[in-house]
Structure 1
């Protein structure tokens, strides 16, 4: 018989993670991610390609800071 409390906690955590990702994507669109200098847009008559290099650098820096802060708080 599965432990229903563990399944419930896992589902609640998965829901929280999805909510955080959703809010981040929503705010990312409003803050101009995807339109930064360094984001490449290539297009022709029948094709298009978008390479968000600048946005990925910003996202990487923000996530690095957030993860380091969380790890420092948890290690105390």
Structure 2
């Protein structure tokens, strides 16, 4: 695959990830708390969803190689 086509594909993947990230940014199961001036957010469920999506994506890509 040519580098130009590969960069276009990577760009499209990043756009899709960005759109999905705005939709699934705060799922139930994410740890988030705020106390005074300090806030903490640990996206456990979001990380799991992103991991599953990326695993499926890489499995599909590896089948075509």
Give the structure-2-normalised TM-score.
0.74
Aligned residue pairs, count: 64
Give the structure-1-normalised TM-score.
0.65
> Higher relative CO (CA 8 A, sep ≥ 6), structure 1 or 2?
2
Determine which of 21, 31, 34 is the counterpart of 2:14: 21
Gaps of 5+ in 1: 1-8
Tell me the CA shift for residue 53 of structure 1.
0.4
Greater C-alpha Rg: 1
Task: Say what the alpha-carbon RMSD is for the aligned residues.
Answer: 2.0
